[in-house]
Amino acid sequence: MLRRPRRNRRSAAIRGLAQEIHLTPQHLVQPLFLVEGSGVREAIPSLPGTFRLSVDEALKEVKACMALGLQSFILFPKIPDNKKDKRGTFSYDDDNFYLSAAAEIKAAFPEACLISDVALDPYSSDGHDGIVHDGKILNDETLHVLQKMGLAQAKAGFDILGPSDMMDGRVEALRVALDEEGFSDTGIMSYTAKYASAFYGPFRDALDSAPVEGEDIPADKKTYQMNPANRREALIEGELDMLEGADFLMVKPALHYMDVILTMKQHFEVPIAAYHVSGECAMLMAACQNGWLDYEQAMPETLLSLHRAGADVIITYFAKDFAERCG
Ligand code: PBG
C-alpha cells in the first residue's frame, strides 16, 4: 500500500498540520432578543440557554461576549401587541426601544458590529414580512416601509442591515435609501436564500411573530420565502443581491441547506453567511438534555461543519458557548 491516509491522523500534532479549516469566534454572530423595560431576562422554553433581554441586560451580555473575542451581534425586537399594526409603522417610530437599545449598545461598545433585522413581521399585526392586503403581500409598497425601517436603523448606529423579508428588490431599495441619506458605509447582509422552513419555530415563540391565519391568507410564508426543494433558484436570488449591492449573502436555515451554502460559496465572491436557526439549535439542545448527544462535542462539530461547507460567517445561538470553549 503506497498511500495510507491514516498516517496523517497518527498524532494530535500531525492532525494539527493537516487540519484544513479553523473556526474562531471572529466568524460567529450572536443573536440577541430585545424587549422593552429594564432588568428583564426571560427564558425561552423552546430555545434553552437563550433569553429575551432588556437593554441593561443586553449590555452585560455584549460585554461578556466581547471579552471572549465575540464581536458581532444580530438584534431582534419583541414588540408588544399594542404597538403592532398592518404596516409595521412602529419599526421606525422615535420611541422604538429596539432603535434606542442599539444606539446604547453602540455607544458603549463602538468596536462591536451590530446587525439589524429588516422585516415587518415583528411589527405586523398579521405576522407577515410584508403588508397584507386582500389576501396578497404587497411587495412594492412594503419596500417603502423597509426603507424607512432601514434608515432608522442606520441612524441608530447599526453597522449592517439584515433584510430578512424576501421581498423582491429590497436590497436595492435599501442601498439607494442609505446612499441618498449619507449612510454609504452602512452594509447590507441580505437573507438571500431564506427558505419557508419549519425550523423557525422557537424564534417565532421568542418574538411572538408567527404569521396569523387570515380569512384570505394562510399562516405560512410560502409566497415569499423559498421552496425547500430548490437549490438553483438560490442563484437567481444571489445574482440579484450582487447586482443590488449586498455586502454579504446569507443562506437560512444552515444545517439542512449545506448544499446551498456550498453552491453560493462557489458562485459569489462576497462573504457567505449561514443562519444556524433556532429550530436547528433547539434540536441539538434537546438531544443533549436527554443525554443522547454530548454537547461538548456535538456543538463545536456542528459549527465547524458549517464553516467547512462554505460559511464564512455563522449566526448561531451557540456563538457565546463556542467562544467560551476557545479560551
Ligand atoms: C423574520 C425572521 C425569522 C428568523 C429571522 N428573521 C423568522 C421567520 O421568517 O418567520 C428566524 C431565525 C431563527 O429561527 O433563528 N423576518
Give distance in angstroms: CA of 23 to centre of ligand 1: 24
Predicted local distance difference test score (pLDDT) of residue 264: 98
Q: What is the pLDDT along the chain (327 residues), one digit of tens a residue?
A: 999 999 999 999 999 999 999 999 999 999 999 999 999 999 999 999 999 999 999 999 999 999 999 999 999 999 999 999 999 999 999 999 999 999 999 999 999 999 999 999 999 999 999 999 999 999 999 999 999 999 999 999 999 999 999 999 999 999 999 999 999 999 999 999 999 999 999 999 998 888 888 878 888 999 999 999 999 999 999 999 999 999 999 999 999 999 999 999 999 999 999 999 999 999 999 999 999 999 999 999 999 999 999 999 999 999 999 999 997
Reply yes or no on whether 194 is catalytic. Answer: yes
Longest dimension (CA), the chain: 72
Q: 117 alpha carbon to ligand 1 midpoint, in Å?
A: 9
What's the pLDDT at 160?
A: 98
pTM reported for the whole predicted model: 0.97
What pLDDT score was predicted for residue 259?
98
Give whole-number Cα distances, 184 to 111, 152, 155, 245, 281, in Å.
Answer: 18, 14, 12, 11, 35
- Within the chain, where are the H helices? 12-18, 55-67, 97-108, 139-156, 170-180, 201-207, 232-244, 258-267, 278-289, 295-309, 319-324
Contacts of 291 (CB under 8 A, 6+ apart): none
Ligand 1: atom nearest CA of 209 is: 10
Pocket residue to mutate for ligand 1, from 117, 164, 170, most atoms within 8 A of Cβ: 164
Of the residues 78, 106, 194, 320, only one is catalytic, namely 194
Q: Which amino acid is at 190?
A: S
**Cis-peptide, bond into residue 253, ω within 30° of zero:** yes
As a whole number of angstroms, the distance between CA 212 and CA 209 comes to 9
Say what the pLDDT of residue 197 is: 97
Q: What angle do CA 152, 157, 158 make, to 5 degrees?
A: 85
The tens digit of pLDDT for each residue in 127-168 reads: 999 999 999 999 999 999 999 999 999 999 999 999 999 999
Directed axis angle between helix 170-180 and helix 139-156, to 10°?
A: 40
DSSP code, position 124: B
Are 118 and 173 a contacting pair, CB within 8 Å?
Answer: no
Q: 129: Cβ below 6 Å to ligand 1?
A: yes
- In angstroms, what CA-CA distances link 240 with 216, 268, 300? 30, 11, 33
